[in-house]
Amino acid sequence: MHPHRLLMIVVLALCVMGAVLPAAAQEREVVNVYSARHYGAMEAAFTSFTDATGIEVRLSQGSAQSILERLRAEGTQTVADVYFTIDAGGLDLAASEGLLQPVESDIITAAVPEDLRDPDNLWFAVSQRMRTIMYNPQTVDPSELSTYEQLADPMWNGRLCLRPATHIYTISLVGALINDLGEEAAETVVAGWVANNPTYIDSDTRILETIAAGGCDVGLTNHYYLARLLSEDPEFPVALFWANQGEDQRGVFRNVSGVGVTAAALNVENAITLIEWMVTDGQVGDETGIPGGNYEFPVNPDAELIPVIAEFGEFTIDPVTLSSYGDTQEAAVALLERAGYGF
């Protein structure tokens, strides 16, 4: 166990033995959430939770990086009960730094598969996203596509659209390349992308719209951005290609939205109730669900897929351990800078 985690668990045990939180803190029907997830139908989802439980959700939003920094800066003075972010790396870092506390809940562990939660139950995934290749079927034959690495081939020179280096989606993907290929090989791939003179666009939706308009032929985005556009316009002229499939390939890159109860939470029981709802009733495949409202894949294996993402077909997922994502973030940022990847 990471030393920060062990220390945090000991401190919490001492608190339980030697101190009792104020009754007002325990009795308030409220849960305070620091959230990096500010897209999709989160308001509808949390309204459904409040209707079902009577617990009010108070939401503070920011980028994945900013809410983690805020949690670090506030320490034991934070008002946050729940940390809700869009990146497994951020969840791992928060857990390793003692910012989250272990949760014991049979409901959660029954609903969330072991590979989608922290080994010490410090955080739990609530939805899954795949970052994969998108292309214009008018200009690209899918037989030309295969892997993230193949996008470094000169055939894609001037034809790529990518997210800038500052975004967590790029950092996490490059971190996964480091995990899978080693740092030297990953840098060769990223340098190849850079050599192909990509257009950097800080919006997955605009990447897809640029592909549709002929501004580039291929790009990398999360799957649900295309699902959203197809739900509005089934004829939207961009297609999805699952990266790194086949017997000799590792599978497509996966990331998650996930939650944990903060180490300093005052409303612990309400926080646990919220997470339990998110991975059970909140997995429903409509506009009120955590994955449903944003066309993500549910974590609960009993939840049904929304038709538009079911139509993307079956695929293999890179088995890299989610709890390792935080380990490569710093190296990924340094690699992107060395490679001259656009900021």
52 and 187 share a domain? no
Give the pLDDT of residue 286.
Answer: 62
Residue 40's pLDDT band, with cuts at 50, 70 and 90, is low
pLDDT, mean of residues 327-332: 95
- Strand, coil or helix: 240: strand
Give the pLDDT of residue 293.
Answer: 72
Q: What is the rounded CA–CA span in Å between residue 186 and residue 181?
A: 6
151 and 248 share a domain? yes
Q: What is the rounded CA–CA span in Å between residue 277 and residue 337?
A: 41
pLDDT, mean of residues 101-128: 97
Q: What is the rounded CA–CA span in Å between residue 161 and residue 211?
A: 8
Residue 312 belongs to some domain of the structure: no
pLDDT of 165 above 60 = yes
Residue 311 belongs to some domain of the structure: no
pLDDT in tens, 51-108: 999 999 999 999 999 999 999 999 999 999 999 999 999 999 999 999 999 999 999 9
> How far apart, in Å, are the Cα atoms of 7 and each of 13, 103, 122, 294?
10, 16, 14, 37
* Kind and range of the H or E run holding 224: helix 223-232
Domains identified in the chain, total number = 2
pLDDT in tens, 230-274: 999 999 999 999 999 988 999 999 999 999 999 999 999 999 999
pLDDT of 121 above 90 = yes
- Looking at residue 164, which CATH number applies to its domain? 3.40.190.10
Residue in this structure with the two tokens 């490569």, named with its chain if needed: 328
95 and 228 share a domain? no
8 and 112 share a domain? yes
203 and 335 share a domain? yes
Q: What is the rounded CA–CA span in Å between residue 196 and residue 151?
A: 9
- Burial group, residue 2, by CB count within 10 angstroms (0-12, 13-18, 19+): middle
Residue 192 belongs to some domain of the structure: yes
The candidate with the shortest Cα–Cα distance to 201, out of 220, 188, 179, is 220
Residue 14's pLDDT band, with cuts at 50, 70 and 90, is very low
Q: Identify the domain containing residue 147 by its residue range.
A: 129-253+321-339
